[in-house]
Amino acid sequence: MRLKQIKLAGFKSFVDPTQVPFPAAMTCVVGPNGCGKSNVIDAVRWVLGESSAKNLRGDAMTDVIFNGSTQRKPVSQASVELVFENTQGKLQGSLADRSEISLKRLVTRDAQSHYFLNGTKCRRRDITDIFLGTGLGPRSYAIIEQGMISRLIESRPQELRVFLEEAAGISKYKERRRETETRIKHTRDNLDRLADVREELGKNLDKLKRQAAVAERYKELKASERRYKAELTCLKWLFYQEHLQQAEQMLAALEVDFERFQAQGSGDFRVLTEFKQQLEAAREAVAVSQQKFYQLGADISALEQQLLHQRQRKQGLLDDERNLTLSLQHGLDQMVQEQAQLEELQQQLLKQQPDAEICAQQAEELSELIFQSEQRLVDQQAVQQRLQQQLFDLQQQQRQLQLQSQNQQQQSQQLMLREQQLTLQQQELAATDYQQKLQAASQLQQQLQQELSLQQAAFTQVTSDFENTQQQLQTQQLELSTVELSRQHLQKQQQSLQQQVQQLLAQKLLLPDLTIAAGWSVAVAVALAKLNFSAVLQDHQPEALGNYLFLKDFPKAIPSTSLAAKISSGVMPAYFASIYCAEDDASALQLLAELRLTAAGSGTSVICKNGNWYGLNWRLVAGSHEQDNPQALTEREQQLGLELADLEHEKSALQQNIEALTSSRQQQQLQLQQLQSSLQQLQQQTHQAQTNAQLLAQQQQQVTARLTQIAEELAQVQQQLTQAEQNIELWQLQLAEVDEQLLQQQDKHSAQQQLQLQLQQQLQQYRQQQQQLSQQQQQFALSQVSIERQIEAARLHLQRTKQQHQQLAERLQLLTAQLELLDEPDGAGQEQLQILLLQRDDIAEQKLQQQNLQSSLEQQVRDLEQGQHGLQQQLQSKQKQIESARLEAEGYRVRANNMLELLSEQKVNFSELQATLPSDATESVWQQQLDKASDALNRLGPINLAAIEEYAQQDERKKYLDLQHDDLIAALDTLETAIRKIDRETRQKFKETFDQVNSGLQTLFPKVFGGGSAYLELTDEDLLETGVSIMARPPGKKNSTIHLLSGGEKALTALSLVFSIFRLNPAPFCMLDEVDAPLDDANVGRFCNLVREMSETVQFIYISHNKIAMEMATQLMGVTMQEPGVSRVVAVDVEDAVKMAQA
């Protein structure tokens, strides 16, 4: 799977719909600072579910919407769509068979985000679930933006752990674990609520049973009330139906009168319509005549205006003719004056030419003298420069020899000091015994390695014991929880039984004074429940209410096998003597078969200890009758007390076992911690010893190489020292010769300077004379130029005057011709004006006639409308009467229908009710009967009509809740087992991933740095909660944490870690935002080689300003911002560009 393209619209600076394709495995996004390159990476992070505006470089989520520029307005929404290729089927589930997948996110100004998967709206969680375990996500290691390198390296151990979890693919396990913990919490809450409901439900069952007896009487009274209500409703319907018929007859008569008036009004309305049509035609004719009248007036005004304009134009032409004649005369006079002025200027120019020629000849002679003087001065200056250069060269040579001599002396001193230093250093290095230190370090490393193996074996054994103890402790705690729940349940049952016993004894509704043989309480309760006695009387009492037991005629002889024999004291029913007893159901059936064969068998029955009661043709199964027997309840209470004592004993034993296991677990945990600490110390010591041994070996090699280098350097220093002494002697001889030559050259230079000064003074005099002649020549030249300009100006002015005179003559001829045309008579215009005036008079007379006809028609229409208005008032009066009658009839109809609806709601057949209604029934009598039935119902008080049905439902619900309780306990066990399984798999996957990433880091780090080492370290023993830290040692540095490295070293370390994760769990693509910024060219080259190597399996999209990184890419994607605030994309295929350049 790889990223095929990104579609942006309104996202940050990408305001226009933009497609950013990624056809190659390595695409580099380039462009100047601030052009919007990083917005491409922000877009990917945003679509993958980023919910923090700060991570998108904003304050609010709406900041990703284009906010306008100097030339653009803000937009209302932003959308980004990612298109993936899934040809390899890396995604699982329903998306596995799709070759292309589209993810889209859209946000509006009201901060509402919408997600789409293949064009279908979905949740944010659906998007994040797709990439769980793939390495992709809004904050995964696959997207490394600006500043993320430093955040990754400087992150806390718990934050760094997240990257390993994503690489291990256990983020989905953590999500499942959170869901399972939530379910466990909900299950426990449900258990608590269920216990409360079950307790409350048990209390309500008793109340419901007592309420059912009163419901039957209520039903009888309610039936009578409904019958009287129905018959009373029927009587009211008959009353309303009679009045309805009378109202409908009156309504029919009113409607006949209304139709008569309406027919009369229709005829008048047709006549009125005809007159209105004639009036409208008359108005249209008047409007047409008016329009014609106005049009003729406009034509007359236009013609009169045209005649006036012709007269005014003729007068203007006459004025122009007079002005042109005067201008021609003035032009002739001006030409004569300009010709005279031109001849005078030409005479002045001829007079100045001889003086100018003499001045020019003198200037030529003086220029020749100046040229000769300058030539001599140039020759003298050349000689002077040669002498000056020779003098400078000798001085420079003198300084160089002095400087070389001084440098050589200093160098000689430095070489002597260097010789002494190298000799001392050689002696010190030779005195150090690195071989002995190396052997000691190797022995220490072997000892630590053996001790580490022993500690690891002990740690493994203690870890196994700790896990076994932990499992036993969890098992004991689970058993203790089960016992505690059972104990609480028994306590609640015991309290409920005590309350029932107290209620029964307080109410005395049964026979509480019976003394029953052991085991036969249930059977006695079942037999007593047959009649449900409420008291004991000596004889029948008519005024007594309820069920009673009479002591009269109580049997004297009681059979030993009867139920009465099981009662040793107290008053019992006489029919107990005819009830035989059996131990179980089989014995009861056998005894019943024997009684059938005897005469005494009729009317007898057999009851079992368990309460099952058998007759000759019937059987009663024992239910909950023991709840009505105080003795049975007391026995049950005692039994519960014994069970409760057993549970208390079992609970104490479990608590003792738990305490022992907890103490053992604590000891093992302490021992485990001690072993873990010791193991870590040994690992660190072993690693340190190994590092020290390597350092000693390297130091020994460095010392040997350094001794060889020092010997060679000493030989070179001694040779250079001898050569330096020889050079000093030679340079001192040369310096003496240069000093003598310098004195001779200085004398020649002084004489030459004196001669040059004399030549310069003579040249200065010649130049002053030349300057005076030049000024005279300039004055002659300026005067001559001025006169020539005046002559040329006079000639041009004369020429223009002649042209103007000719133009004025031509224009005068044209005006004369126009005046001849305007002198023609304008009689045709006057005739047309008279015709238009006559037509306007005819139209005015026609318009007056049409206006008179219109006034007549308007009067007739008004008369007809007044008659129509009077008839309309009469119709409205009849209409109101009809509406009043209709409303009255409708009122009776509605009341009658309401009565029928009441009967329908009561589900009463109206026809049958009307047929059975007595003929002498009246509304008042039936109302009295209804009131009596209602009073009887009110005296009953509050009634629960659904008591019987509700009792059955609640009992069924109680059984259902018991089943639910068992199911919840089983579900809780299942969820806790799932938690343990998830934790076990999470530990295993995290440990495997940690080891593999650590190994990859140790391999990549030396490759990126050109040496050194790095490794990952756990901060805690618990693999579920432990953090991860990085330890790095670049080449030539001691082992240290990542926080002590430079910026470039941190960046390379972070890249090593990220690429190690990529090798373990390659994400579909990787986006890098200027991660090479802190690297120099050498490190950028290593970085590029690593990226090129990994691009075979991973698609890379990176932003860079580095030329080396740009050269590595196979596709360059340029981002420009020619328009301020608006980003655009320009793509370049590097391979095509190379082919084009080669062609």
Domains of the chain: 1-142+1069-1143 (3.40.50.300), 511-628 (no CATH)
Neighbours of 590 (CB within 10 A): 11
Instruction: Please provide the DSSP assignment of 1021-1053 as one string.
Output: S-TTT--EEEEEE-TTS--EEGGGS-HHHHHHH
Close Cβ partners of 460 (under 8 Å, ≥ 6 residues apart) = none
Is residue 105 within 8 A of residue 7, CB to CB? The reply is no
Distances from the Cα of 647 to the Cαs of 415, 483, 500, 1038, in angstroms? 100, 7, 24, 65
Burial 564-580 (b: 16+ CB within 10 A, else e): bbbbeeeebbebbbbbb
Q: What pLDDT is recorded for position 6?
A: 94
Dihedral over alpha carbons 769, 771, 775, 781 (to 10 degrees): 100
Please indicate if the annotation marks 39 as binding a ligand. Answer: yes
Spatial CB neighbours of 117, under 8 Å, sequence gap ≥ 6: 101, 102, 103, 104, 126, 127, 130
Q: Token pair for residue 353?
A: 């030419």
539 confidence band (pLDDT: 50, 70, 90): low
- Is residue 542 annotated as involved in ligand binding? no
Q: Is 1037 annotated as a binding residue?
A: no
| Per-residue pLDDT tens digits for 340-379 | 777 777 777 777 777 777 777 777 777 777 777 777 777 7
| Per-residue model confidence as pLDDT tens digits over 390-431 | 777 777 777 777 777 777 677 777 777 777 777 776 666 665
Structure confidence at residue 75 as a pLDDT band (50, 70, 90): very high
Residue with tokens 């690489």: 167
Contact 991, 170 (CB under 8 A): no
- One-letter amino acid of 112: Q
Write down the pLDDT at residue 511.
Answer: 47
Which of the four pLDDT bands, split at 50, 70 and 90, describes residue 1094? confident
**C-alpha to C-alpha distance for 554 and 542, rounded to whole angstroms:** 20
Length reported for the chain: 1143
Query: How many CB atoms lie under 10 A from the CB of residue 8?
Result: 24
pLDDT given at position 679:
67
* Paired strand residues for 382: none
Query: Can you tell me the distance from the alpha carbon of 1132 to that of 1143, in angstroms, rounded to the nearest whole number?
Result: 17
Quote the DSSP letter at residue 78: E
Q: How far is CA 628 from the centre of its chain?
A: 66
| pTM (two decimals) | 0.37
pLDDT (0 to 100) of residue 605: 87
Residue 37 marked as a ligand binder: yes
- Cα 1078 to chain center, whole Å? 32
Q: How far apart are CA 521 and CA 633, in angstroms?
A: 9
* In the block, residue with structure tokens 């690297």: 1079
The residue among 326 and 1091 whose pLDDT is bigger is 1091
Q: State the pairing for strand pair 1069-1073/143-144.
A: parallel
More confident residue, 1075 or 1040: 1075
| CA-derived radius of gyration, the chain | 63
Say if residue 34 carries a ligand binding annotation. yes
How large is the average pLDDT for residues 241-262? 80
pLDDT band at 507 (very low <50, low <70, confident <90, very high): very low
The secondary structure element, H or E, covering residue 605 is strand 605-608
| Residue 1129: its H or E element | strand 1128-1133
Annotated ligand binding at 68? The verdict is no
Interatomic CA distance for residues 591 and 589, integer angstroms: 5
How many Cα atoms are found within 13 Å in the side-chain-facing hemisphere of 554? 14
Q: What is the pLDDT of residue 884?
A: 82
Q: Would residue 40 be called left, alpha or beta, if left means φ above 0 and alpha means ψ between -120 and 50 degrees? A: alpha
pLDDT of residue 510: 43
Of the candidates 440, 711, 416, the residue with the CA atom closest to the CA atom of residue 703:
711
Nearest Cα residue to 227 out of 919, 920, 916, 900: 916
Two tokens, residue 260: 């008569």
Asked if residue 730 lies in contact with residue 340, where contact means CB atoms within 8 angstroms, the answer is no
Q: Is the dihedral of CA 335, 336, 337, 338 positive or negative?
A: positive
| Residue 409: CB atoms within 10 Å | 13
Alpha helices by DSSP H, listed for 561-629, are 585-596
Selected residue with higher pLDDT from 474 and 841: 841
Neighbouring residues of 511: CB distance < 8 A, sequence distance ≥ 6: 528, 533, 536, 549, 570, 571, 572
Tell me what pLDDT residue 172 has.
67
Q: Return the SS3 of 842.
A: helix
pLDDT (mean) for 458-476: 70
1069 φ/ψ angles, rounded to the nearest 5 degrees: -150, 165
How high is the mean pLDDT of the chain? 76
Tell whether 1095 is in a known binding site. Answer: no
Residue, of 549 and 80, whose pLDDT is higher: 80
**In 10 A of CB 336, how many CB atoms?**
10
Angstrom CA distances, 662 to 440, 476, 655, 666, 976, stand at 46, 10, 10, 6, 20
With bands split at pLDDT 50, 70 and 90, how would you rate the model's confidence at 102? very high
| pLDDT score of 121 | 92
* 272 vs 62 pLDDT, higher one: 62
Write the CB contacts of 1116 (distance below 8 Å, at least 6 apart in sequence): 27, 28, 30, 1110, 1131, 1132, 1133, 1134
pLDDT at 549: 60
- Residues of the chain above pLDDT 90, percent: 6
**What pLDDT is recorded for position 502?**
56
Bridge-based pairing state of the strands 26-30 and 1115-1120 = parallel
**Is the model's pLDDT at 306 over the cut of 80?**
no
Give pLDDT tens digits for 167-193. Answer: 777 766 777 778 888 888 888 888 888
Is the pLDDT at 643 greater than 80, yes or no? no
Q: If residue 94 lies in a helix (H) or strand (E), which one and from where to where? A: none
Q: Is 852 annotated as a binding residue?
A: no
Predicted local distance difference test score (pLDDT) of residue 82: 94
Mean of pLDDT values over 1124-1142: 72
DSSP 547: -
Which of 479-493, 564-578, 754-768, 948-962 tops mean pLDDT? Answer: 948-962
Helix-strand-coil percent breakdown of the chain, rounded to 5? 70, 10, 20
Q: Which of 548-557, 697-706, 1022-1031 has the lowest mean pLDDT?
A: 548-557
Q: What is the pLDDT of residues 257-301, one digit of tens each?
A: 777 777 777 776 777 777 777 778 877 877 787 777 777 777 777
Alpha-carbon distances, residue 421 vs 412, 428, 432, 434, 710 (angstroms): 14, 11, 17, 22, 10
Q: Alpha carbon of 834 to those of 297, 842, 915: distances in Å? A: 12, 13, 105
Question: pLDDT value at position 555?
Answer: 57
**pLDDT at residue 30, rounded to an integer:** 92
Task: Specify the range with the lowest mean pLDDT, choosing from 117-121, 647-651, 947-951, 1011-1015.
Answer: 647-651
38, 145 Cβ separation under 8 angstroms: yes
Poorest-confidence range of 166-170, 550-554, 690-694, 784-788? 550-554
Structure confidence at residue 977 as a pLDDT band (50, 70, 90): confident
Tokens of residue 181, six digits? 């913990």
